[in-house]
Amino acid sequence: MGLWPLEPIRIVLVEPAGPLNVGATARVMKNMGLHQLILVNPQCDPQSEQAQHMAVHARDLLAAAHTVATLPEALVGCQRAIATTGRLHPQDQPLETPEAALPWLLSPTPNPNWAAALIFGPEDRGLSNAELIYAQRWVRIPVSDAYPSLNLAQAVAICAYVLHDSAQGNDAGTAKLADPFTSLPPPRLDWATPAKAPLDQAPLDQMEGFYQDLESLLLKIGYLYPHTAASRMAKLRRLLQRAEPNSQELAMLRGVLRQINWAIASDQPSDQSET
């Protein structure tokens, strides 16, 4: 297959604190054929001497890295995103192995409009629940319970290898689809292959705008309450993420929201008193 499926993949580091990790990430990305590095509000100088030293022959990739202020900015134009986490979460969202989930980021055919992201959190805390909701799927790398915390650059290296292996058409990972975590739910096998990827899938930034409009409407009509809105919206996000609506379908859903808002406004009593 070659490595063209890796061209649209963004490696997103949220608030990286260590220049050594940023440089090492650039190096392993170039090792594995990945080229797009996005830094969200970095807490270090990604062009420092330490970062350059660790990048070695990937200094060009480091120099080309894009810096943005927020995670949603890093995902503009992406159809799919996977977040990495080292923690167990109480939400219904399943945690998957890299072999099960990461091939889903790859487009089955060359497409200039396709983009996908793999998100890594800060070294000291990982991705927060508020950051995880921007991704459709969550990955946890199998590690020993004796020391479950992976170094950031090491985590990138493991995931980059799986992406590289999948891009070459290797199926060595398919034998590992059975989740090795006895405490975790099984991976979503219906999402484990990129072969059925809808190439007109609505970009995540458009989906995010819809989620904001939906939350505003549901608060307005009393379906959501401020103190429970976040948890309820997380469940609605997961439902819509599984549906993978395309741009036309998303436009239809947004039309529904506009019509409901219009109906609510039309039903409001007039401010003018009758004379």
User: Which band of pLDDT confidence, cut at 50, 70 and 90, is reported for residue 170?
Assistant: low
pLDDT greater at residue 94 or residue 136: 136
Answer yes or no: is pLDDT of 122 > 50. yes
List Cα–Cα distances, 7 to 111, 141, 201, in angstroms: 10, 23, 18
Residues of the chain with CATH 3.40.1280.10: 4-190
Residue 23 above 90 pLDDT? yes
The residue-averaged pLDDT of 208-219 equals: 94
31-56 average pLDDT score: 97
Within the chain, all domains assigned CATH 1.10.8.590 are found at: 204-266
- 4-190, superfamily in CATH? SPOUT methyltransferase, trefoil knot domain (3.40.1280.10)
Going by C-alpha positions, the residue among 128, 134, 133, 131 that lies closest to residue 116 is: 134
Q: pLDDT, tens digit, for every residue of 172-209?
A: 444 343 343 333 443 343 433 443 445 578 999 999 99
At residue 272, the pLDDT reads: 52
The whole-number pLDDT of residue 92 equals 66
For residue 48, is pLDDT > 90? yes
Distance CA 104, CA 192 (A): 6
204-266: what CATH class? Answer: mainly alpha
pLDDT band for position 54 (50/70/90)?
Answer: very high
221-265: pLDDT as tens digits: 999 999 889 889 988 998 998 888 988 999 999 999 999 999 988
For the residues 77-104, what does the mean pLDDT come to? 88
